[in-house]
Structure 1
Amino acid sequence: MPDDLQTEAETRHAAKMAKKKAARDRIMAGKTGEKGLVIVHTGAGKGKSSAGFGMILRCIAHEMPCAVVQFIKGAWETGERRILTERFPDLCQFHAMGEGFTWETQDRARDIAAAQAGWDKAKEVIRDPAIRMVLLDEVNIALRYGYLDAAEVLAFLSAEKPPLTHVVLTGRGAPETLIEAADLVTEMSLVKHPFRAGIKGQPGVEY
């Protein structure tokens, strides 16, 4: 491209970006509120727990006390559990309450008891205003199977969650009432997964 045409293109681009920045700055100037959010990661795609743990690591980087309560995968030895308990126990509580997926335990009463124990622990850490984020990992599965009452969970979050505490709820099949009440909802869609090609879950990818 000749120098004069390149200069003209660069000038047009700079003017376009300046207009975008001005518009963005106007939008951001009006966003002054701060509140503790109810965040839901759901859907059939991979990445719901991974996104939740990414937010936990951000909290740790900001030296914000946080907590994890695992409802289903508590029986697994996962990478996130290892690094959080070994490296950051002063900033992140980690409570592995589950005993595995329901098809592994094959005992509904036992699954309900484990879910209820997890919810009791979740309420305890959410009530503590010093803890700025609580990740309820795979709690949506417990809600979906009826191990926990969605109405009770929502009532607690509405009445007792401290104003600046973020609560992240992950897992497939989040109930519509939870989606409606949440401040931020992300649905992970499944496009392709190696499990369908006969590849098992692998460290660093799945756990």
Structure 2
Amino acid sequence: MTEDSTRHASKMAKKKAARDKIMATKTDQKGLIIVHTGKGKGKSSAAFGMIFRCIAHDMKCAVVQYIKGGMSTGERDMIQRHFSDTCAFHTMGEGFTWETQDRDRDIEMARAAWEKSKELIRDPANKMVLLDEINIALRYDYIPINDVVDFLVNEKPEMTHVVLTGRNAKEELIEVADLVTEMELIKHPFRSGIKAQIGVEF
């Protein structure tokens, strides 16, 4: 072993001992409230990564899509085709608000999606429920933020994970969440005239 290798091994051994000591103190488990927000791409993609982990572990889970609905997506098609016995998938939106141009209808659909979400979260069989793009519905006040926060804090089963995605997450939601990730936009092909592409965006 060279001197550099010996020094590296010693340094890593110390780091591992410190890490193991920290990890030994982390013994609790709980169902998490997880928020993916920000202007950057990847909020739903990261959330679906967790859904596919649940599926891989044969853990019951569910998805409610609040906005997307007017177009087919790879995640929805794959889950409905191959994993519908493990993951319930409900597409309850009809497109983005600038496409529907009907606020009353958008509110009606968002509130129906919230009722379905509560039903799925209350079901103890579901270990994770993804509320995709709910932050958009909350931003436009289609669903009262206080109703969502109150339900998550007071009615969510102790071991159920709930993932909420979309830009502009409300501060009230961020405050009660256990894990919040903000996707930062640095560069995006859309700004260079590149449209959304299959396999990347949907």
TM-score (structure 2 length as normaliser): 0.99
Q: Paired residues, what number?
A: 202
What amino acid does structure 2 have at the position aligned with 1:45?
Answer: G
- Counterparts of 1:6-45 in structure 2, within 5 Å, are 7-45=2-40
SS of 2:2's partner is helix
- Counterparts of 1:12-91 in structure 2, within 5 Å, are 12-91=7-86
User: What residue number does 1:100 align with?
Assistant: 95
The answer to whether structure 1 residue 205 and structure 2 residue 200 are counterparts is yes
Runs of 4+ in 1 over 4 A off after TM superposition: none
- The superposition leaves residues 9-44 of structure 1 with CA deviations (integer Å, 9 ceiling, x where unpaired) of 100000000000000000000000000000000000
What amino acid does structure 1 have at the position aligned with 2:99?
Answer: E
2:113 aligned to which of 118, 131, 134: 118
CA distance in 2, matches of 1:59, 1:118: 22
Alpha-carbon contact 1:75-1:96 (below 8 Å) kept: no
CA distance in 1, matches of 2:20, 2:71: 46
CA distance in 1, matches of 2:16, 2:71: 46
Between the aligned residues of both structures, percent identity stands at: 70
SS of 2:186's partner is coil
User: What residue number does 1:148 align with?
Assistant: 143
Highest CA radius of gyration, 1 or 2? Answer: 1
Deviation at 1:159, TM superposition (A): 1.4
Deviation at 1:76, TM superposition (A): 1.7
Deviation at 1:158, TM superposition (A): 1.2
CA distance in 2, matches of 1:112, 1:76: 20
SS of 2:198's partner is coil
CA distance in 1, matches of 2:50, 2:30: 16
SS of 1:17's partner is helix
TM-score (structure 1 length as normaliser): 0.97
Root-mean-square deviation (CA), in Å?
A: 0.6
- Structure 2 runs not aligned, ≥5 long: none
What amino acid does structure 2 have at the position aligned with 1:75?
Answer: G
CA distance in 1, matches of 2:128, 2:90: 14
SS of 1:73's partner is coil
SS of 1:190's partner is coil
Alpha-carbon contact 1:132-1:165 (below 8 Å) kept: yes
SS of 1:75's partner is coil
- Structure 1 runs not aligned, ≥5 long: 1-5
SS of 1:186's partner is strand
SS of 1:41's partner is strand
User: What residue number does 1:3 align with?
Assistant: none
Alpha-carbon contact 2:35-2:165 (below 8 Å) kept: yes
